[in-house]
Structure 1
Amino acid sequence: MTSTAADLRSAAAKLEEQLRNLPKVSLHDHLDGSLRPGTLIELAAEIGHELPSQDSEELAVHFRENANSGSLEKYLETFAHTTAVMQTAQNLRRVAKEYVEDLAADGVIYSEVRWAPEQHQEQGLSLDEAVEAVQEGLNQGMETVADQDGVIVVGQLVSAMRQSDRADEIVEVALRHRDKGVVGFDIAGPEAGFPPSRFADAFTRLATEMLPVTVHAGEGDGIESVRDALVSGRAQRLGHGVRVAEDISVIESDADSEAGEEVFQVELGPVARWVRDRQIHLEVSPTSNVQTGAIAGFAEGDAAELSDHPFDMLYQLGFNVGVNTDNRLVSGVTLSGELALIASTFDYGLGELADFQINALESSFLGHEEREALAGMILEAWQ
């Protein structure tokens, strides 16, 4: 008999507090999906933007309930509220500073925050001004954490929106700021119908200038989207990437193992084999993947649950997987909570959870020396 979602969350809650004190790595977290509810309410009031609720707890619940739609497109609709209050340099600085402080409070010591500057120009900010404001806020947050004897390093992933035609322009912004806080590039937004091949010239420019790339793929679209992210997007990591499991065939064997357990044969298709053999990192966001319907095709029942997630299969087969939040406000999660939830679901111990931190760190866009220094901190603490 499988555990219910309520049982899993109850078990995860007991583990979450312990994990909060351990150093962690976050590679897939959207700035505009991770505001504090109270900050969103305050900033919305200043510009006269109407929110579903003026109560912080009620607003957080509303976002979580809206996220449980089973649709990526519906999930993305909630960002109209958050981006509305992130149109000035002052507000971007505040949101970015609080973003760092909140991650540090959850034990994160390295993060790559992704956001799309093109969505923050409604009140006249240039792309460069928006990137500079966010970096100022990130710097302020890191300084605050350091003043409290904490450690956190945060780099920007500049995203271009797939449904617009500004990728070439956004690439140039990312390149101008690569030595000023920007560590990489991403494309975000609706996946289906907007393949990476649409931005082939932009990805060629990035490869020429050797700025690393992560691409949202294998979330809202299937295996061909993953293939295109690897070929046209030249992705070093895959944002989510969970639908790479569609390229894996699992065949139940007639024979039983000596332990009396079922034996399965697994065949990897060409895309899955490429991702596994070359250790292309999968930036998995468990709760978000359930909410957006990314794992609906793997569900045994009518509605997908976390136990249907192919995460464990991918991990057991040697794929390079990490655990992320995607959007902490929208999904109503923390990184410690996601790790605890996945541990409760798949019976992982601290050893496996530490593996996910090292996987993420080694796949990050940090330099080799910086990765080595943080890896020592992580291994010492988790051991």
Structure 2
Amino acid sequence: MSPAEKVTILQHLVEIKSVNNHEKLVAMYLKTLFDEAGITNQVIPLVGQPERANLVAEMGSGHPILAVSGHMDVVDVDVANWTTDPFKLTPKGDQLFGRGTTDMKAGLAALVIAMLELKESQATFNGTIRLLATAGEEVGQPGAEALEMAGYSDDVDALLIAEPTGYYNMVYANKGELDIEIKSVGKAAHSSMPALGNNAIEHLLTVLAQIRTQIGQLTAGVTNPVLGETLLNVDTISGGNQINAIPSLATVGLNLRTIPEVSNDQILNVIDDVVANYNQTTTGQISVEVSMNIVSILGDVNAPLLTDLQRIAEPYARRQKISAAEAEQLKQAALAAGVKDYRPAEFLKVGISGGTDAAKLLIKNQTGFSYLAYGPGNNTPHQDNESVSKAMFLDFIEIYQTLFKSL
């Protein structure tokens, strides 16, 4: 397959507007590629969501089974802030612009093309390569959850997710995530007669302070050597409709990034206890809704998957000319990971705060598994004018193909 043909596959993927939905269109396109190549595959709809689906493709047989994964959804765009059409792959020099180029249709395309070329060359390898293309990674990870529940990750020996890391960052651990909305229901009244109402905002602020205090006590001094500490952010808040009226409704949105030492369930139990006690002892009416609940994943830093990929990728990485800005980004990533004497152009094995589909696919193997996120991309995911390096995209196709042959 020529470089132009490879870029064309990425172009077709970018043109599919799979913004938090419509992954079935992506899956059907990938199915046509696998069908033409004679690679076993199936599109698996998400129950009750007709426009959403996963795709599973498999080649080889027996163990080891290497699961490789990429999500098919992308985040929304503000077209006015783009200098190009976000759903048209637009080259400018070495950069290919478009929504999802970095996060993560380039990584998904690289995995697919590596499998297609491996089939075309009739190369032999030991074991099985199983592609898990997922729906809904950006919001809730329902696709990965459905695949795990159906048993597609039960027998795998290693998991590679082609999330954007660039050449040097090898991500083997991710924090978990909790997205929580806390709602306070009160009673409206004129602000000159507050006793006739029930101030939803005041109740919300009080219970929020109690939650922060209790979680702070639970997590104080507890850190993970790879992932660091638990993070709690207040990201949204709303309430009331005008300044001279007692508010009858208020909500706050919390985002927590969690570590293995303090589980999501422990944090949720603290919140539930605080809310239950508050509702019983005050006139407050507080409720809690959890919209995201994914666990932390701590892989094996010494797993063969990591050592093999570093060996394979090193010649490609050595060819790169690192700018001062890129060197600084690598240095800051190293510092965040606790590496003080990092030299740019060295491989960095790290844990990050962001989650991946591994949180669902490895729900039964949260620690010590052979897991790695490693793929083409840069620091533009979710940003306006998202892009990926064409050269890096093509390099990762070769890196993945070599890895598959080395099974």
Do these two structures clear the TM 0.5 threshold for a shared fold by scoring above it? no
TM score, norm. by length of structure 2 = 0.28
Q: Which has the higher helix share?
A: 1
TM score, norm. by length of structure 1 = 0.29
| Max Rg structure | 2
Bigger relative contact order, structure 1 or 2, given CA contacts below 8 A and separation 6+?
A: 2
Q: Which has the higher strand share?
A: 2
